[in-house]
Amino acid sequence: MRYRLISLHPALAQACDARLSSAGHEPAGGLGDADALVVGIGAPDLGSALLDVDERAWEETIGRARTAFAAVRDLARALIEREASGRVVVVVDPPVLRAAERTGLTAVAGAFLSTIAEVAAVDLGPRGIAVNVVVAGWMAPAPPALAGGVPLGRLADPDEVASACAFLVSPDQAAYVNGATLAVDGGWFVTKAEGGNPLTSGA
Protein backbone atom coordinates (compact mmCIF):
# COMPACT_ATOMS: atom_id res chain seq x y z
CA MET A 1 0.00 0.00 0.00
CA ARG A 2 1.03 3.60 -0.53
CA TYR A 3 0.70 5.76 2.55
CA ARG A 4 0.75 9.36 3.69
CA LEU A 5 1.67 10.67 7.16
CA ILE A 6 0.20 14.05 8.10
CA SER A 7 0.52 16.21 11.24
CA LEU A 8 1.99 13.55 13.51
CA HIS A 9 4.22 14.01 16.55
CA PRO A 10 7.69 14.22 14.87
CA ALA A 11 9.11 11.16 16.63
CA LEU A 12 5.97 9.18 15.83
CA ALA A 13 6.10 10.20 12.16
CA GLN A 14 9.65 8.85 11.92
CA ALA A 15 8.70 5.61 13.67
CA CYS A 16 5.60 5.14 11.50
CA ASP A 17 7.61 5.70 8.35
CA ALA A 18 10.09 3.02 9.43
CA ARG A 19 7.39 0.55 10.46
CA LEU A 20 5.31 0.95 7.32
CA SER A 21 8.33 0.79 5.04
CA SER A 22 9.57 -2.39 6.72
CA ALA A 23 6.12 -3.91 6.18
CA GLY A 24 6.48 -3.36 2.45
CA HIS A 25 4.36 -0.22 2.14
CA GLU A 26 5.59 2.76 0.13
CA PRO A 27 5.26 6.52 0.71
CA ALA A 28 2.76 8.17 -1.63
CA GLY A 29 3.50 11.40 -3.44
CA GLY A 30 0.17 12.86 -2.36
CA LEU A 31 -3.28 11.95 -1.11
CA GLY A 32 -4.45 11.46 -4.67
CA ASP A 33 -2.41 8.28 -5.09
CA ALA A 34 -2.36 7.08 -1.47
CA ASP A 35 -4.15 3.99 -0.18
CA ALA A 36 -3.63 4.70 3.51
CA LEU A 37 -3.38 7.72 5.78
CA VAL A 38 -2.05 8.13 9.31
CA VAL A 39 -3.02 11.56 10.59
CA GLY A 40 -2.97 13.50 13.86
CA ILE A 41 -2.60 17.04 15.19
CA GLY A 42 1.09 17.04 16.07
CA ALA A 43 2.62 17.14 19.54
CA PRO A 44 0.10 17.71 22.36
CA ASP A 45 -0.32 21.05 24.10
CA LEU A 46 0.24 20.38 27.80
CA GLY A 47 0.26 22.50 30.92
CA SER A 48 -2.26 25.21 30.02
CA ALA A 49 -5.44 25.55 32.05
CA LEU A 50 -8.49 26.07 29.86
CA LEU A 51 -9.07 29.58 31.25
CA ASP A 52 -5.50 30.54 30.32
CA VAL A 53 -5.76 29.49 26.67
CA ASP A 54 -5.60 32.50 24.39
CA GLU A 55 -7.38 32.88 21.08
CA ARG A 56 -4.23 32.34 19.02
CA ALA A 57 -3.41 29.01 20.66
CA TRP A 58 -7.01 27.89 20.26
CA GLU A 59 -7.08 28.79 16.57
CA GLU A 60 -3.75 27.05 15.92
CA THR A 61 -4.90 23.82 17.55
CA ILE A 62 -8.31 23.80 15.89
CA GLY A 63 -6.60 24.66 12.62
CA ARG A 64 -4.50 21.50 12.89
CA ALA A 65 -7.66 19.51 13.58
CA ARG A 66 -9.31 21.01 10.50
CA THR A 67 -6.26 20.09 8.44
CA ALA A 68 -6.51 16.51 9.67
CA PHE A 69 -10.20 16.37 8.81
CA ALA A 70 -9.51 17.72 5.32
CA ALA A 71 -6.86 15.03 4.80
CA VAL A 72 -9.31 12.27 5.72
CA ARG A 73 -11.96 13.74 3.43
CA ASP A 74 -9.58 14.25 0.50
CA LEU A 75 -8.15 10.74 0.75
CA ALA A 76 -11.66 9.28 0.84
CA ARG A 77 -12.69 11.27 -2.22
CA ALA A 78 -9.60 10.14 -4.13
CA LEU A 79 -10.13 6.49 -3.18
CA ILE A 80 -13.79 6.59 -4.21
CA GLU A 81 -12.89 8.20 -7.52
CA ARG A 82 -10.35 5.42 -8.14
CA GLU A 83 -12.85 2.80 -6.93
CA ALA A 84 -10.21 1.63 -4.47
CA SER A 85 -10.34 0.50 -0.85
CA GLY A 86 -8.21 2.16 1.80
CA ARG A 87 -7.24 2.58 5.44
CA VAL A 88 -7.24 5.61 7.72
CA VAL A 89 -5.68 5.79 11.17
CA VAL A 90 -6.41 8.87 13.28
CA VAL A 91 -3.93 9.44 16.12
CA VAL A 92 -5.10 11.29 19.23
CA ASP A 93 -3.75 11.86 22.74
CA PRO A 94 -4.86 10.26 26.05
CA PRO A 95 -7.16 13.08 27.26
CA VAL A 96 -9.64 12.11 24.55
CA LEU A 97 -10.47 9.09 26.73
CA ARG A 98 -10.45 10.77 30.12
CA ALA A 99 -10.48 14.45 30.92
CA ALA A 100 -7.39 15.75 32.70
CA GLU A 101 -6.47 19.18 34.00
CA ARG A 102 -4.28 21.39 31.83
CA THR A 103 -4.86 19.35 28.68
CA GLY A 104 -7.84 21.33 27.39
CA LEU A 105 -6.63 22.12 23.88
CA THR A 106 -5.36 18.61 23.25
CA ALA A 107 -8.53 17.02 24.64
CA VAL A 108 -10.89 19.16 22.56
CA ALA A 109 -8.97 18.70 19.31
CA GLY A 110 -8.65 14.97 19.96
CA ALA A 111 -12.37 14.62 20.65
CA PHE A 112 -13.09 16.42 17.39
CA LEU A 113 -10.87 14.04 15.42
CA SER A 114 -12.08 10.95 17.26
CA THR A 115 -15.69 11.79 16.48
CA ILE A 116 -14.84 12.48 12.85
CA ALA A 117 -13.18 9.05 12.71
CA GLU A 118 -16.25 7.32 14.12
CA VAL A 119 -18.57 9.03 11.65
CA ALA A 120 -16.15 8.30 8.80
CA ALA A 121 -16.01 4.63 9.75
CA VAL A 122 -19.78 4.44 9.30
CA ASP A 123 -19.96 6.57 6.16
CA LEU A 124 -16.91 5.15 4.40
CA GLY A 125 -17.04 1.52 5.49
CA PRO A 126 -19.50 0.59 2.72
CA ARG A 127 -16.99 2.07 0.26
CA GLY A 128 -14.24 -0.24 1.47
CA ILE A 129 -12.48 2.43 3.53
CA ALA A 130 -11.76 1.48 7.15
CA VAL A 131 -11.20 4.24 9.70
CA ASN A 132 -9.78 3.61 13.17
CA VAL A 133 -8.33 5.59 16.08
CA VAL A 134 -5.08 5.07 17.96
CA VAL A 135 -4.79 6.77 21.34
CA ALA A 136 -1.07 7.42 21.58
CA GLY A 137 0.40 7.27 25.06
CA TRP A 138 2.45 10.17 26.37
CA MET A 139 5.77 10.44 24.54
CA ALA A 140 8.76 12.72 25.04
CA PRO A 141 8.92 15.71 25.17
CA ALA A 142 5.92 15.23 27.46
CA PRO A 143 6.87 15.91 31.10
CA PRO A 144 8.46 12.79 32.68
CA ALA A 145 6.07 13.29 35.61
CA LEU A 146 3.27 11.97 33.42
CA ALA A 147 4.80 8.51 33.72
CA GLY A 148 3.67 8.58 37.35
CA GLY A 149 0.07 8.23 36.20
CA VAL A 150 0.80 5.27 33.92
CA PRO A 151 0.59 1.73 35.40
CA LEU A 152 3.56 0.62 33.29
CA GLY A 153 5.55 3.42 34.91
CA ARG A 154 7.07 5.03 31.83
CA LEU A 155 6.34 7.17 28.80
CA ALA A 156 5.56 5.49 25.49
CA ASP A 157 8.21 4.69 22.93
CA PRO A 158 7.14 6.09 19.52
CA ASP A 159 7.80 2.71 17.92
CA GLU A 160 5.21 1.11 20.20
CA VAL A 161 2.56 3.49 18.92
CA ALA A 162 3.80 3.14 15.35
CA SER A 163 3.41 -0.63 15.61
CA ALA A 164 -0.29 -0.19 16.38
CA CYS A 165 -0.68 2.22 13.47
CA ALA A 166 1.02 -0.24 11.12
CA PHE A 167 -1.32 -3.00 12.29
CA LEU A 168 -4.39 -0.91 11.51
CA VAL A 169 -3.00 0.14 8.13
CA SER A 170 -2.51 -3.49 7.13
CA PRO A 171 -5.35 -4.69 4.86
CA ASP A 172 -4.52 -8.26 5.86
CA GLN A 173 -3.94 -8.14 9.62
CA ALA A 174 -6.73 -5.64 10.34
CA ALA A 175 -9.08 -6.39 7.45
CA TYR A 176 -12.22 -6.48 9.63
CA VAL A 177 -11.26 -3.72 12.06
CA ASN A 178 -13.29 -0.56 11.48
CA GLY A 179 -14.48 2.14 13.87
CA ALA A 180 -12.22 0.87 16.64
CA THR A 181 -10.28 2.85 19.22
CA LEU A 182 -6.99 1.24 20.23
CA ALA A 183 -5.35 2.72 23.33
CA VAL A 184 -1.56 2.37 23.38
CA ASP A 185 -1.19 4.29 26.62
CA GLY A 186 0.34 1.89 29.13
CA GLY A 187 -2.95 1.74 31.04
CA TRP A 188 -3.24 5.51 31.61
CA PHE A 189 -6.96 5.46 30.86
CA VAL A 190 -7.93 2.82 33.39
CA THR A 191 -5.65 3.89 36.20
CA LYS A 192 -7.16 5.39 39.31
CA ALA A 193 -3.79 6.30 40.77
CA GLU A 194 -3.97 8.52 43.84
CA GLY A 195 -2.85 12.05 43.19
CA GLY A 196 -4.74 12.66 39.95
CA ASN A 197 -2.98 14.38 37.10
CA PRO A 198 0.83 14.64 37.60
CA LEU A 199 0.76 17.88 35.61
CA THR A 200 -1.02 19.54 38.51
CA SER A 201 0.49 17.81 41.51
CA GLY A 202 1.84 20.36 43.89
CA ALA A 203 0.20 23.19 41.94
- Residue 50 within a domain: yes
pLDDT for position 198: 53
> What confidence score (pLDDT) does residue 203 get?
41
Could you tell me the residue range of the domain that residue 13 belongs to? 2-184
In a domain, 126, yes or no: yes
- The pTM assigned to this predicted structure is 0.90
Residue 189 resides in a domain: no
State how far the Cα of 39 lies from the Cα of 4, in Å rounded to an integer.
8
| 134 inside domain | yes
Mean of the per-residue pLDDT values for the chain? 89
pLDDT digits (tens, 9 = 90+) for 51-98: 888 888 889 888 999 999 999 999 999 999 999 999 999 999 888 877
Residue 200 lies in a domain: no
Q: Residue 38 maps to which CATH number?
A: 3.40.50.720
Whether 45 maps to a domain, the answer reads yes
Instruction: Count up the domains in the chain and report the number.
Output: 1
Check whether 136 has a pLDDT greater than 90: yes
Give the pLDDT confidence of 90-99 residue by residue, as tens digits.
Answer: 999 888 877 7
194 in a structural domain? no
